[in-house]
Amino acid sequence: MPKTRILVIDDEAAIRDSLRMTLEYEGYDFVGAATGQEGIALAEREAPDLVLLDVKMPGMDGLEVLDRLRAMNDALPVVVISGHGTISTAVEATKKGAFDFIEKPFASERVLVSLRNALDQRRLRDENRSLKKAVEVRHQMIGESGALKQVMAAVGRAAPTNATVLIQGESGVGKELVARTIHRNSLRSRERFVQVNCAAIPEELIESELFGHEKGSFTGATEKQVGKFEQADRGTIFLDEVGDMSAKTQAKVLRVLQEGEVERLGSARTIKVDVRVIAATNKNLEEEIEKGRFREDLYFRLAVIPIFVPPLRERPEDIPLLVRHYMEYFSRENNVRPKRIAAGAIEALQRYRWKGNIRELRNTVERLIIMTGGDTIEAADLPDGLRSSSGGFVPPKPVGGDADQAKAGTLREFKENAERAFLVEKLRENGWNISKTAEVIGTPRSNLYKKLEQYQITQDSDG
Ligand SMILES: Nc1ncnc2c1ncn2[C@@H]1O[C@H](COP(=O)(O)OP(=O)(O)OP(=O)(O)O)[C@@H](O)[C@H]1O
Ligand SMILES: [Mg+2]
């Protein structure tokens, strides 16, 4: 780590010398200037971390130097030292943005304390800034395909309103990112964004989760609980996987949307809430309605502003941008030297089908950044499945043989057969480890479990 550099601007050589001794003894780098002009020049050239500045100097006086320094770089902390320490100079220096004011003669300990405080404050501010920036980078929506631009335009239109938004799209396409972006750009951005994953919460708990309950309202309700709708009051609630809600819960949610009020389980009292609802699902809700699994009236309430996020394979133009974005991000995150990527590798990535969409791409890039030895990621460095996808998508063989697919009369049957085969393939590749497989294909574990059940996939059926 480079040493912390302190610039001392004081016309008295004796003071500079004594400060040099103190500072160097403490492990700081010392730079000295005898006049204001020299000090400003050195501040520019030496990029000090802090300035100790005398007030009374021939030529340019300290307060003027302070003004110039602040104008140059207002993040540079300045501690003012003066032998003519009147209250009024101290006040003026502080008004001009000096961090601290020290009177001569001073004990070196006093200087060191002030200096450490100033440096700490600056470090905190820097950290804060980089944290904020990291948050922004994490929430950035990357891509410039026409399809993504349409999504962004819809986000822009929806954000400032209170309208309910329904986001649809495959797993991993960025539905949650869209929801968060809408909230961050809304008038509610200072209030809470409360997320509820309707698929992950067991059926018997979801109502109390959403609406809360009073103590003793059911077996196990030992404490009262404030529901997510109440928690999100004045803010936004994000109903993720809304297609997985039971009929009963759907009816209750519909009521909140209509009446703007909730009722805790076990309470007759209704509570007014001002909540903006954003819902998302990777199910096709129109299909769910047809099958009688989703209420049409709820659908219309939710889909005031519908946003469809297209799958990644339908916008391959975004792939190079996303790959570069994540290469940079993960190099920084893992402290590895930035790598380049060969054109051939990018092309292979653009040809691949990305069932897990951006989440799968992101995981792939992270693995490549960590696992690739050289400075450049070549096509040969890509995992097998990715390299061999050249020439377009070859659907994996269904477990039950080609006959299954041939028998598939409807598009849905075909899709289901292909999905089942895909899952079995991936499970096998990952040694039937559910967590790992879920991660690789970019779907929540809960969803994978559901699929296993739906298709009655077990390791035994793998044969
Ligand atoms: N346009 C984008 N630019 C950069 N990163 C993105 C973009 N879209 C999605 N991501 C990232 O991809 C990952 C998956 O996105 P997200 O969780 O929003 O998907 P989802 O549609 O909610 O998935 P699921 O249906 O599985 O819940 C996240 O890490 C997200 O930040
Ligand atoms: Mg999601």
Taking alpha carbons only, the member of 235, 204, 210 closest to residue 225 is: 210
Contact present, 115 and 97 (Cβ < 8 Å): no
Q: Please name the residue whose Cα sits nearest to atom 29 of ligand 1.
A: 359
Question: What's the pLDDT at 385?
Answer: 84
Protein residue closest via CA to atom 13 of ligand 1: 359
pLDDT bin (cut points 50, 70, 90) of residue 313 is: very high
196 near 239, Cβ under 8 Å?
A: yes
| Phi, psi (rounded to 5 degrees) for 128 | -60, -45
DSSP string spanning 12-54? -HHHHHHHHHHHHHTT-EEEEESSHHHHHHHHHHH--SEEEEE
For residue 174, the ligand 1 atom closest to its alpha carbon is: 18
**What spacing in Å lies between the alpha carbon of 358 and ligand 1's midpoint?**
6
Q: What is the pLDDT of residue 343?
A: 94
SS3 117: helix
Query: Which segment of 24-38, 156-170, 256-270, 387-401 scores lowest on mean pLDDT?
Result: 387-401
Instruction: Using the mean position of ligand 1's atoms as its centre, give its distance from the Cα of residue 393 in Å.
Output: 23
Ligand positioned closest to the Cα atom of 282: 1
Atom of ligand 1 lying closest to residue 361 CA? 12
What mean pLDDT comes out for the span 272-288? 95
Q: Is 171 in the pocket of ligand 1 (CB under 6 A)?
A: yes
Distance in angstroms (rounded) separating the CA atoms of residues 410 and 220: 46
Q: How much is the pLDDT for 16? A: 96
| Rounded-to-integer distance, Cα 16 and Cα 385, Å | 67
What are the tens digits of pLDDT across the range 22-79? Answer: 999 999 999 999 999 999 999 999 989 999 999 989 999 999 999 999 999 888 999 9
Q: Which atom of ligand 1 is nearest to the CA of 167?
A: 21
Write the CB contacts of 391 (distance below 8 Å, at least 6 apart in sequence): 351
Name the closest ligand to CA 175. 1
Give the pLDDT score at 131. 75
Protein residue with least CA distance to atom 8, ligand 1: 174
Indicate the length of the chain as a whole number: 463
Per-residue pLDDT at 411 exceeds 80: no
Q: Is the CB of 328 under 6 A from ligand 1?
A: no
Report the candidate in 303, 253, 250 with the shortest Cα–Cα distance to residue 278. Answer: 303
- The residue type of 452 is L
- Ligand 1 touching residue 362 (CB < 6 A): yes
146 residue type, one letter: G
Q: Give the number of whichever ligand sits closest to the CA of residue 178.
A: 1
Q: Which atom of ligand 1 is nearest to the CA of 442?
A: 26
396: which 2 tokens?
A: 């994996």
- The pLDDT value given to residue 405: 46
Above 90 in pLDDT, residue 105? no
Average pLDDT of the segment spanning 328-344: 90
Q: Which ligand is nearest to the CA of 174?
A: 1
- For residue 239, pLDDT beyond 90: yes
Average pLDDT, rounded, for the chain: 88
Strand duo 276-281 + 236-240: pairing: parallel
Three-state DSSP string of 56-77 = CCCCCCHHHHHHHHHHHCCCCC
303 Cα to the center of ligand 1, angstroms: 20
Q: Where are the alpha helices (DSSP H) in 316-444?
A: 318-334, 343-351, 357-371, 384-387, 402-407, 411-429, 434-440
CB of 142 shorter than 6 A to ligand 1: yes
> Of 268, 198, 272, 266, which is closest to residue 229 (Cα–Cα)?
272
- Nearest CA to 193 out of 180, 210, 178, 208 is that of 180
* CA–centroid distance, residue 68 to ligand 1 (Å): 46
Give 193 Cα–ligand 1 centroid separation in angstroms.
17
Mutate to test the pocket of ligand 1, among 140, 173, 181, 445 (most ligand atoms within 8 A of CB): 173
Residue 178 CA: nearest ligand 1 atom is: 18
Which ligand sits nearest to residue 181's alpha carbon?
1
